[in-house]
Structure 1
Amino acid sequence: MLRQWYILAIIVLIYLPVSIDATVLHVAIPTLNQELQLSNNQMLWVMDIYSLMMVGLILPMGALGERIGYKRLMLTGALIFGLSSLFAAFSTSANMLILARAVLAGGAAMIIPATLAGLRHAFPDEKKRNFALGLWVVAGGGGAAFGPLIGGILLEHYHWGSIFLINIPIIVCVMLTGYYILPSQQINRNKVINIADAVLLTCAILLMVYALKAGMKHFDFTVLLIGLTGLLMGAYFLRQQRRKAQPLIDLELFSYKPIKIGFLISIFTMVALVGFELLIAQELQYVHGYTPLQAGLFILPFMLAVSVSGIFSSVLINRFGVRKVSLIGLICCAIAFIGLAGTNFSTQQYQGWLWMILLGFWVEATFLASTSAIISASPVEKATAAGSIEGMSYELGTGFGVAIFGLLVSYFYSSKLKISAWMSTEHFELAKGSIGETIQTLSLLDPALSPAIREMANAAFLSAHQYVLYLSSVTLIILTIFVFLYWSDEKAESE
């Protein structure tokens, strides 16, 4: 009896660094830009390669666990996660860090399905299992929500590599205790893993995202060819899934209206959550001069609202249904973005916190409602496949949140930056991509010009941030109208 709680402790412990690493870098961008001289595109890859890689890798890992046993899957994933954390901590270039984050995603993709399988095996009693799953959700949501604060605390006192080194003691503890405490499971050597499909999906996503990022900076035939290749690979992947007896993604589930809409809402809410966190961390440090720790503390009301929402959202969903909660949540998020766009965080801190609390609470409530729609609408025999779709939507939203918000800010920032007359064409090309690149370029110019250029860069970034938030609000309003019209009947939840 006591052993199952030891197993739960191991599972929660290993899941924490996986969830923290999804957001811990948000407050580290200025530090990384300074230390590694990142371009805007490199910065975005460092941030979102973790989630984008997991989109394709996490799906076949459940099957791999059935084939080799979930204990072995978890310990292997922990080992990969630990070694790649070391590699990331001591990276000396942007490409090294991007590669390390990609390998981190491989380890994380093994750990997540292994932890869920471990809970299922360790807690046969439904009530105890629900309690254990609740703690698992708290570890995941809390880790992701408080990642920026943890990053800020570490960056305040230690080298930036410490945000990865904190994973090492956890990994060592899990591997030592897990080896002796985690039970062995029955294995199915005939289980199809679909690694080829996972690689195809991952390549399709990465090529499309690469083309999107490159095209925003310089569009040419090569970029177009890469983007079309990604689209064709994605189309071929979908065609293959329809034909296979054991597909990586069960596309038949998308015939259920709540699953289709829930998948869409889940992606958009995660884009909003991650994208906002990314932008506010940059604004606080670049424009308002906050340290990483101060930035993490300033965002704390947003993090707390996300965490608290998980407690109350289930009550709201049970009372009003997933459709109504989704609609209310989308509208509240749109209103919060409008409020945040008009807030000066230097002089209107309390107003900013109020809008952040509104956004944090309802973006998480909307995400949980969409998750409930996906899981509840799926047939019992396809619950695992529905869970894979939900996990995929989470990672897609996280990855695209960084990419979309980062690219939009870069576009609006470049269009608003009026410093070309203050420097040569060569220096302006280096400086115009992002506020981080502008600050890097200051070291190449006359120091007397720095204050004026910095002031114009701050103004351009604030304007870009405002445009992106307004655009996000309009997008969510359009999505709300679509959901209201297309998902108009509560009976759709049970279709």
Structure 2
Amino acid sequence: MDGTGTRGLGRREWAALAVLSLPTLVLAMDITVLHLAVPALSADLDPTGTQLLWILDVYGFVVAGFLLVMGALGDRIGRRRLLMVGAAAFAVVSVLAAFSSSAELLIAARALLGVAGATLMPSTLAVLTDVFRTPARRTFAVAVWMTAFTSGEAVGPLVGGLVLEFLWWGAVFLVGVPVMVLLLVVGPFVLPESAERLPGRFDLASATALLASVLSFVYGVKELASRGGWEPLGWIAAGLVLGCLFGWRQLRTRDPLLDLRLFRRAPFSAGFVAQLLAVAAMAGSQLLVMQYLQSVLGLSPFEAGLWTLPSVLLGIGATLLAPRLVRHSSAAPVVATGLFAAAVGATALAVTSHHLDLGWTVLAFTVLYVGVTPTLALMTDLIVGSAPRGRAGMAAGVAESGAEFGLAGGMAFIGTVASATYSSRVLSDASGGVAVEHLQEASRTVGNAVALAQDLPPEVGTSLLDAARMAFADGMRLAATVSAVLLVIGGALALRFLRPARSTTPGDHAAGARAE
């Protein structure tokens, strides 16, 4: 077999890969598709700053909370069956999100999309391991699958910008509906149903504890960053306690949602943590860069989307090249080199943010993005390939939990850091006779400041706009610095703990496929 694992693949395998990759692209795209719609959405629904953050990231957090649950459920009832249910639900709820008439309704619709998305993400990856069983083929298939995932997350702003040029902001949710319909029609003919099923009952109590833990912790961190006080600390503590209870139950139940023994394997645990940190850094930076291009540099949504193309195209090439690189080395140096290079890009983004220069911003973000994307395929392959085959859904849920929680966490936590910095700087730095009520309105989001400046007298509006732009640059500089630190930590973990890629050693894969 050749190094990429493509030799000998038939039409059905290629069709299965396409059918599994397209929904993955749509699911990832739903994370970032609203980035460029923020100004139009803010003008239409008038969300508060906190509501806007929830609109952007509640989808990812709900996906993260349900991924392990749905991965374990698919191992029991059949992964293809769960995939079909998720596709139908995602199509229906996408229509609901598109026609939301209030911020609260949109938040609820995005949360429901998260539940539907959580049925699809681990199912696509687990079914992929059923179709491509040899190590080289699996590594190639995971690389293509991850390319679809990262490309969807990256082209979301581009697709959103194109749609927004001609339609209202809600239309961005309708893009994925035809893909889900295609999956429902073609999937039963080209995708196999999982032959191996986990025995035992589905642990509803563990599922409830996991979801409550994730959402409580995230809500507390967001509220602590936005308003402070003791109440958010209570939510954080509740999330940690529930998480400990979940872990305690997994160690004692006969049918765990998450077999914690998997984390004893270095590729599994180190890959998970490094993946979470890397995706968080990339997602948080991308959210801010997209707003920076529009609200600070004045690009249209479509223009801002076009400037993401260099990172997308180079990232796709790097991801497809990754399986070849590990044939001549091990996963550790390849992953570490990518993450360290991404840290250089994040540092450049922090250093150049105040220059208000389009070229430097795009270049810095491209280095960051291209450094991260190829490492994600390798880490996902390590996580899924090191688990027993009967727990493929569970392992896929863990892998996707790291990616989705990293995406949503990066946007929420890094975004909250930038938002808090922006708000404080606008309130303290604006001059030129800007009224207090206008400053308070402008401090909510940079989109509000831009819209408000257009309605004020020229001198006052210019003063407010200059203050808002520099305040946002301050926020992005701090956020990019945090991203650089996360990437360095992830690279160090990879260099220290990741063993050679299993995809190059068939015997290792066979051993890893045996149940403990």
Which of residues 458, 462, 472 in structure 1 aligns to 2:483?
A: 472
Match for residue 471 of structure 2?
460
One-letter amino acid of the counterpart of residue 212, structure 2: C
The aligned counterpart of 1:248 is 257
In 1, Cα distance between equivalents of 2:391 and 2:85: 27
Q: Does 1:387 align with 2:396?
A: yes
Instruction: Tell me the CA shift for residue 408 of structure 1.
Output: 0.9
SS of 2:352 mapped into structure 1: coil
- The 3 A distance-change label for structure 1 pair 222 and 270 is same
Choose from 152, 155, 170 the match for 1:143. 152
Q: Which is worse superposed, 177-186 or 251-260?
A: 177-186
Contact 1:331 1:476 in 2 (8 A): yes
- Within 2, Cα distance between the matches of 1:111 and 1:456? 44
> Does the aligned pair in 2 maintain the 1:66–1:191 contact within 8 Å?
no
Provide, for residues 168-208 of structure 1, a one-character-per-residue CA deviation record: whole Å limited to 9, x for no partner.
23333433444677676669696433343223212211111
Question: In 2, distance between residues paired with 1:216 and 1:81?
Answer: 32
Which residue pairs with 1:226 in the alignment? 235
Call closer, same or farther: CA 1:384–1:27 in 2, change over 3 Å. Answer: same
> Are the equivalent residues in 1 in contact too, given 2:202–2:255 (CA < 8 A)?
no
2:320 equivalent among 311, 315, 324: 311
Report what 1:16 is aligned to: 25
Q: Distance in 2 between matches of 1:186 and 1:376?
A: 18
Is 1:409 matched with 2:423?
Answer: no
Q: CA deviation at 1:293?
A: 0.6
* Structure 2 Cα separation of the partners of residues 353 and 470 of structure 1: 17
Give the one of 43, 56, 69 matched to 1:47: 56
Displacement of 1:225 in angstroms is 2.1
Of residues 279, 291, 298, the one that matches 1:270 is 279
Partner of 2:212: 203
For structure 1, which segment, 396-405 or 128-137, has the greater mean C-alpha deviation from structure 2 after superposition?
Answer: 128-137
Amino acid at match of 2:218: V
**Counterpart-to-counterpart distance in 2, 1:233 and 1:477:** 30
User: What is the distance in 1 between the residues matched to 2:361 and 2:277?
Assistant: 22
Separation of aligned partners in 2, 1:129 and 1:44: 37
Per the alignment, in what secondary structure is the counterpart of residue 161 of structure 1? helix
- The answer to whether the 8 A contact 1:265-1:367 is kept is no
Q: Return closer, same or farther for 1:263/1:9 CA change in 2, 3 Å cut-off.
A: closer
Output the amino acid matched with 1:366.
T
1:121–1:380 CA distance, 2 compared to 1 (3 A): closer
Match of 1:320 in 2: 329
Instruction: Give the deviation of 1:444 after TM superposition.
Output: 8.3
User: Do structure 1's residue 58 and structure 2's residue 67 form an aligned pair?
Assistant: yes
CA-based RMSD: 3.3
Q: Alignment partner for residue 34 of structure 1, among 26, 43, 47?
A: 43
Alignment of 1:356-375 (within 5 A): 356-375=365-384
Counterpart-to-counterpart distance in 2, 1:440 and 1:245: 57
**454 and 350 in structure 1: CA distance in 2 versus 1, 3 angstrom threshold:** closer
Aligned-pair identity (%): 32
Q: CA deviation at 1:429?
A: 3.7
User: What residue is the counterpart of 2:409 in the other structure?
Assistant: 400
C-alpha displacement of 1:80: 0.9
Report the Cα distance in structure 2 between the residues aligned to 1:141 and 1:360, rounded to whole angstroms: 9
Asked whether the 8 Å contact 1:68–1:187 carries over to 2, the reply is no
Shift of 1:123: 6.0
CA distance in 2, matches of 1:190, 1:268: 34
Runs of 5+ consecutive residues of structure 1 not aligned to the other structure: none
| Deviation of the 1:331 alpha carbon | 2.1
Cα contact 1:337–1:472 (8 A) shared by 2: yes
Higher deviation after alignment, 320-329 or 84-93? 320-329
Indicate how the Cα distance of structure 1 residues 168 and 309 shifts in structure 2: closer, same or farther if over 3 A, else same.
same
Aligned-pair CA distance for 1:340: 2.0
Deviation at 1:287, TM superposition (A): 0.7
Per-residue deviation, residues 108-163 of structure 1 (Å, max 9, x unmatched): 12223333454455567887766655543433332222221111111111111111
Listed one character per residue, the Cα deviations across residues 79-126 of structure 1 (whole Å, up to 9, x for unaligned) are 210111011100111111111111111111222333345445556788
The amino acid of 1:91's aligned partner reads S
CA distance in 2, matches of 1:327, 1:173: 38
For 1:330, give the aligned amino acid: L
Q: Note if 1:451 corresponds to 2:462.
A: yes
Q: What CA deviation, in whole Å up to 9, does each residue of 1:439-476 have, x standing for no partner?
A: 46558866762221111111111122122222332443
What is the Cα deviation at residue 358 of structure 1?
2.1
Structure 1 Cα separation of the partners of residues 418 and 301 of structure 2:
20
For 2:7, the equivalent position in structure 1 comes to none
Distance 2:398 2:452 in 1: 43
- SS of corresponding position for 2:169: coil
* Aligned partner of 1:296 among 305, 309, 319: 305
Provide the rounded CA distance (Å) in 1 between the counterparts of 2:308 and 2:318: 16
Residue in 2 that maps onto 1:280: 289
State how many pairs are aligned.
Answer: 493
Deviations 1:319-347, CA, capped at 9 Å, x for gaps: 33222223322321221112222336987
1:38 match: secondary structure: coil
Match among 260, 284, 306 for residue 269 of structure 2: 260
**Pairing 1:97-112 to 2, within 5 Å after superposition:** 97-112=106-121
